[in-house]
Amino acid sequence: MAERKKMSVSEILAAARAQAGGGEAAAPAVEPAGGGAADAVDSAADTPVVEKPAAKAAPKPTAGGARPSVADIMAMARANKAAADAPAQSPTKSAPKPTAKPAEKPAAAKAAKPVAAKAAVARDTASILAAARAGAKPGPVSKADAPPRPAKPAAVKPAVAADHAAKPAAAKAVPPRPAKPAAKKSDSEEDRRGFLEIALGSFMALGFTALSVTGGLFSLGLARFFFPNVLAEPPSRFKVGFKEGFPAGKVETKFVAQYGVWVVNSDVAGEQQIYALKTVCTHLGCTPNWLEAEQKFKCPCHGSGFYKDGVNFEGPAPRPLERYAIRISDDGQLEVDKSKTFQEELGQWAESESYVTV
Amino acid sequence: MHSNGLFLKDVAGFLGSYYTGLAIMNAVAALILWRKKGQPGWAVTWAVFAGVMMILASLALSGSESLVPSLPLSARTLVNTLSGPMLYTLGTTALFTVLFVFRRFFVQPMAAWTVFNVALVLMGLSMADENFAAIVMKPDNVPIVGLVFLLAFFTWVATKQAVVNDDRIRQGLPPMEKLDDEKVLVWPDLVYTELICMVAVSAFLLVWAIFLPAPLEEPASSVKTPNPSKAPWYFLGLQEMLVYFDPWYAGVVLPSLVVFGLMAMPYLDFNKKGNGYYSIEERKFSYLVYQFGFFELWITLIILGTFLRGPNWNFYGPFEYWTPYKVEVLNNVDLPQMFWVNLLDQPLPRAPQGAGTLTQIGYIFLREAPGLALLGGYLLLLPPLLAVTVFRGYFAKMGFIRYMIMANLMLLMLSLPLKMILRWTLNLKYLVSIPEFSLNF
Ligand code: FES
């Protein structure tokens, strides 16, 4: 295995928990990975609306920032749990920030945490929506940074900072995303929605039509199974030829493939009989083979063996092979009737229908 | 078969790469051992072994009858004549016993590696035999060969861990699994590992599917049964069971009992130890019962059914040609026949002609009395008897109901090998045989 220097899971998790606990510490460490901060700052500078950075930054951290990703946790943890000093590691990329951030953050974060945490418990979808409908500045994020917002340009940074600081604490329950529709309210909204409705509506219609058509065809296809594409069963009564075609002691196997029957002329209890044996093993229904050299029927599935008269003598088959009804028809040929079977163990082989005397 | 020359030409390429693979494998092992510096002796051994394998590979590649390494004909014939279901079962049982008793020896990596190499070389030597190769290299059967090695490997890993844990527990240390150094994060570690495995396995299956095509046969027909007719490999144990029992018992009751018994296990188990870690010493009884059921009554039966059962479900030695004309005398008789006719020299009790149903049933009971008595004793008398003797402690800890379920499950499980042995030794077909009602046991 690899070197044991690897941190164990519990260590990683412990380190992560320590981070999450001290909200301030986690935020800066997370930021560089999330990469959202710089974007947010930029976009905030472009747009005059204050909610926007919040709204925009919000979705991102859910992916990478708010709940620190495993990669981040591991990065932090590997940094030897010195995450408390993490601000020092803050990326130099966001050069303007550090000056403002360390100063703002502790205050903002501490203010934000309790509020956000409490709000997080109470804030449900309904209340968020209500807030949004009231056209108010959406609560979750801006509430925390509302007080320290003197002017627009200045407000940006605290907003971002507080936003990030608040997240670790509030993240679980507060997806600030619902603020978005309210923030995006604009003139073109009606049109878009209309388009959506039309598009979605027709897609739905299309989908359901396709579904019902498929379903209908499928059931038709199923119904087709009730009329299988096979040749009709061979008749259950059939003629196998004249008695003379079955010399004594012979097992005729030529009817097996078509009718599943052996016609045997053999000596049964001192009487020469012709009988028709069913080619179904009485064990589990395989088709045994007639082995001429050994004078036995032998089943390939579990090795049952039957004498020429159909009586089982080896393997697991519990009872003798069954006989079909056989008789001499009006034209003198032997006729086998598969609709009737005779079982030895029930004493039915004594019935005169089950054999023809030679 | 004696037209060995042609066959050897065909198989030469395969055998050559087989031995080359063995050589590479051992060379790598030697290199790793050498780097680790712990066991230079073993490193040299495996390096030399790899050299020998290279020589075997070149011999095999020649494809000539006198050069291709193979087992001597006399040895093969000896194996064929000796082998039979009885010896196979006894042999595997003995093998498992040895492996279990000397597990401390076999869990050493070098011992296991030696056994592994010996098995592979024996297989290579055997594969120069046409009949052996025909069975082992059949596309259906290749997975079973893999199964044998995979199972051996995983059992070895688990046993090794169990042995280590047993040692640690004896020293008062917690088992390895409690040390937490084998856990990984689900995301990303585990998920990535799974992804990589998924890709690798898919690639492997693709290659397999291309090189070992499915053995398609002619269209199915209800009156034509292939000879031998084999279930899918994972059911071959079941098929072997069916040889010894009536279908309702081997095909329905026993498999359901297997499932039921597996589900019942956690409720029957009162031993709190061994929870979440491997250990043999702490739960010897459970371990042995389970391994017996799994290996002896399932895996070895699959192997028996796959490799050693040929046409007409006869037993064939590993180097024997599968001729459908093999004559094996397997006449077997039911217990009533043995008891009344052979022992007491009487005809079987038979209801007089035209007797009522009740009289007939009475006669059937009389006829089957010896079998029913045996069965009753086995299933009804043995459990209480065991409760006051062998399983006294278990009975006290488990209580009546749990103990009874356990005892009966175990006895029913043992009924399989017992019946097999009775069939092989006494040619006993059924203890109770009531074909009138399709009831046989
Ligand atoms: S089906 Fe014929 S022996 Fe089992």
User: What is this model's ipTM?
Assistant: 0.81
Residue A267: band (very low, low, confident or very high) from pLDDT cuts 50, 70, 90: confident
- Nearest-CA residue for ligand 1 atom 1 is A284
pLDDT of residue B439: 80
Q: Residue A139: name the closest of A111, A116, A168 by CA.
A: A116
Calculate how close chain B gets to A314, using CA atoms only, in Å.
Answer: 5
**Which tens digit of pLDDT belongs to each residue from A275-299?**
999 999 998 888 999 988 888 999 9
A162 has pLDDT over 50: no
Residue A83 and residue A11 in one domain: yes
- A260 in contact with B, Cβ within 8 Å: yes
pLDDT in tens, chain B (441 residues): 445 677 888 888 899 999 999 999 999 999 999 998 878 899 999 999 999 999 999 999 888 888 888 888 899 999 998 888 889 999 999 999 999 999 999 999 999 999 999 999 999 999 998 899 989 988 888 888 998 999 999 999 999 999 999 999 999 998 888 887 767 889 888 999 999 999 999 999 999 989 888 777 788 777 788 888 888 888 888 999 999 988 888 888 999 999 999 999 989 988 888 888 899 999 999 999 999 999 999 999 999 999 999 998 889 999 999 888 887 777 888 888 888 888 888 888 887 877 788 888 888 888 888 899 999 999 999 999 999 998 999 899 999 999 999 999 999 999 999 999 999 888 888 888 887 777 888
A200 touches chain B (CB under 8 A): no
Residues of chain A found within 8 Å of residue B311, distances taken between Cβ atoms: 300
pLDDT grade for A71, boundaries at 50, 70 and 90: low
The best mutation among A277, A278, A282, A283 to test binding of ligand 1, ranked by most ligand atoms within 8 Å of the C-beta, falls on A283
Q: Which residue has the tokens 């804030």?
A: A123
Same-domain status, A175 and A245? no
Residue A292 maps to which CATH number?
Answer: 2.102.10.10
How far apart are alpha carbons A311 and A319 in whole angstroms?
7
Which among B292, B250, B267 is positioned nearest to B410, based on CA atoms? Answer: B292
Claim to verify: residue A46 and residue A159 sit in the same structural domain: yes
Q: Give Cβ neighbours of residue B244 (< 8 Å, ≥ 6 apart).
A: A316, B250, B416, B419, B420, B423
Instruction: Find the CB nearest A300 among B222, B312, B325.
Output: B312
Q: Assess if residue A164 is contained within a domain.
A: yes
CB contact under 8 A, B222 and A300: no
| Contact residues for A158 (Cβ-Cβ < 8 A; gap 6+) | A100, A104, A108, A145, A148, A149
Domain enclosing residue A310, as ranges: 237-357
Closest partner residue to B223 (CB to CB) among A71, A279, A299 is A279
For the segment B289-301, what is each residue's pLDDT rounded down to a tens digit? Answer: 999 999 999 999 9
**Is A220 a member of any domain?**
no
Q: Do residue A326 and residue A179 come from a single domain?
A: no
Measured in Å, residue A321 CA sits from the centre of ligand 1 at 11
> Distance, CA A272 to ligand 1 centroid (Å)?
28
Q: B431-434 long-range contacts, Cβ below 8 Å, gap at least 24? A: B431/B334, B431/B335, B431/B371, B431/B374, B431/B375, B432/B335, B432/B368, B432/B371, B432/B372, B432/B375, B433/A318, B433/B334, B433/B335, B433/B336, B433/B368, B433/B371, B434/B364, B434/B368
pLDDT band at A167 (very low <50, low <70, confident <90, very high): very low
Domain final residue pick, A191, A213, A247: A191
Q: Residue A76: pLDDT above 80?
A: no
> Does residue A337 share a domain with residue A275?
yes
Q: Which residue has the higher pLDDT, A182 or A213?
A: A213
The pLDDT assigned to B116 comes to 95
Determine the residue of chain B that is closest to A300 in CA distance.
B312
* Lowest-pLDDT choice from A49-58, A307-316, B67-76, B297-306: A49-58
**Which residue of chain B is at minimal alpha-carbon distance from A280?**
B223
Chain B interface test: which of A12, A286, A294, A301 (most B C-beta within 10 Å): A301
Supply the mean pLDDT for chain A.
67
Please tell me the predicted confidence (pLDDT) of residue B402. 92
Same domain flag for A172 and A269: no
pLDDT score of B53: 95
| pLDDT number for residue A5 | 56
Q: CB distance A260–B222 less than 8 Å?
A: yes
Sign of the C-alpha dihedral, residues B43, B48, B51, B57? negative
pLDDT of residue A241 exceeding 80, the answer is yes
Is the pLDDT at A57 greater than 50, yes or no?
no
**A150 falls within a domain:** yes
Residue A281 alpha carbon to ligand 1 centre in Å = 6
- Residue A225 counted as domain residue: no
Site to probe by mutation for ligand 1, drawn from A278, A280, A282, A286 as the one with most ligand atoms within 8 Å of Cβ, is: A286
Whole-number pLDDT of residue B383:
92
Query: Residue A211's pLDDT is what?
Result: 94
Least confident of A60-74, A303-317, B116-130: A60-74
Q: Confidence class of residue A64 from pLDDT cuts 50, 70 and 90?
A: very low
Distance of CA B34 to the CA centre of its chain: 37
Has residue A93 been placed in a domain?
Answer: yes
Q: How far is A195 from chain B (nearest CA, A)?
A: 40
Q: Which residue has the higher pLDDT, B215 or A212?
A: A212
Residues whose CB falls within 8 Å of the CB of residue B344, separated by 6 or more in sequence, listed in order: none
Domain co-membership, A183 together with A37: yes
Domain shared by A19 and A160, yes or no: yes
Per-residue pLDDT at B92: 93
Q: Which residues contact B232 (CB under 8 A, 6 or more apart)?
A: none
- Select from A10, A300, A315 the Cβ nearest to the Cβ of B227: A300
Instruction: Looking at the complex, report in whole angstroms how far the Cα of residue A13 sits from the nearest Cα belonging to chain B.
Output: 10
Q: Which of A229-233, A316-320, B434-438 has the lowest mean pLDDT?
A: A229-233
Q: Which two tokens stand for residue A113?
A: 């945490």
**Pair A13, A98 in one domain:** yes
Among A131, A165, A191, residue at a domain's last position: A191
Give the Cα separation of A85 and B104 in Å (integer). 51
In the structure, what pLDDT confidence band is assigned to residue A202 with cuts at 50, 70 and 90?
Answer: confident
Least confident of A97-101, A213-217, A222-226, B433-437: A97-101
A157 & A297 share domain: no
Are A54 and A163 contained in the same domain?
Answer: yes
Closest chain A residue to the Cα of B360, Cα to Cα: A346
The answer to whether residue A237 scores a pLDDT higher than 80 is yes
pLDDT reported for residue B4: 66
Peptide bond into B188 cis (omega under 30): yes
Per the structure, the count of domains in chain A is 2
Taking the Cβ of residue A267 and every Cβ of chain B, the question of whether any pair is shorter than 8 Å is answered with no
Residue A231 lies in a domain: no
Residue A218 lies inside a defined structural domain of this protein = no
Whether B222 contacts chain A with CB within 8 A? yes
Rg from Cα positions in chain A: 44
Judgement on whether residues A135 and A15 belong to the same structural domain of the protein: yes
Task: Tell me whether B433 touches chain A (CB under 8 Å).
Answer: yes
- Dihedral sign from CA coordinates of A5, A9, A14, A16: positive
Q: If you write DSSP's letter for every residue of B264-318 in order, what string do you get?
A: HHHHH-----SSSS--SGGGHHHHHHHHIIIIIIIIHHHHIIIIIB-GGG-B--T
- Is residue A320 a contact partner of residue A313, using CB atoms and an 8 Å limit? no
Please say whether the beta carbons of A346 and A303 come within 8 A.
no
What is the whole-number distance in angstroms between the Cα of residue A301 and the centre of ligand 1?
5
Most confident of A32-36, A128-132, B168-172: B168-172
- Report the 10 Å Cβ neighbour count for B238: 19
In a domain, A196, yes or no: no
Of A70, A257, A346, the CB nearest to B223: A257
Q: Residue A344 carries which DSSP code?
A: G
| pLDDT level of residue A21 (50, 70, 90 thresholds) | low
Evaluate the omega torsion of the peptide bond into residue B228 and state whether it is cis, within 30 degrees of 0.
Answer: yes
pTM listed for this prediction = 0.69
pLDDT greater than 50 at residue A244: yes
CB proximity list for B404: less than 8 A, separation 6 or greater = B383
pLDDT category, A346, cuts 50, 70, 90?
A: confident
Checking if the pLDDT of A120 tops 60, the result is no
From residue B395, how far is each of B99, B271, B390, B400 by CA, in Å?
A: 30, 13, 10, 7
Number of other CB atoms surrounding residue A349 within 10 Å: 21
Tell me the range of A21-35, A71-85, A218-232 where mean pLDDT is highest: A218-232
DSSP B219: P
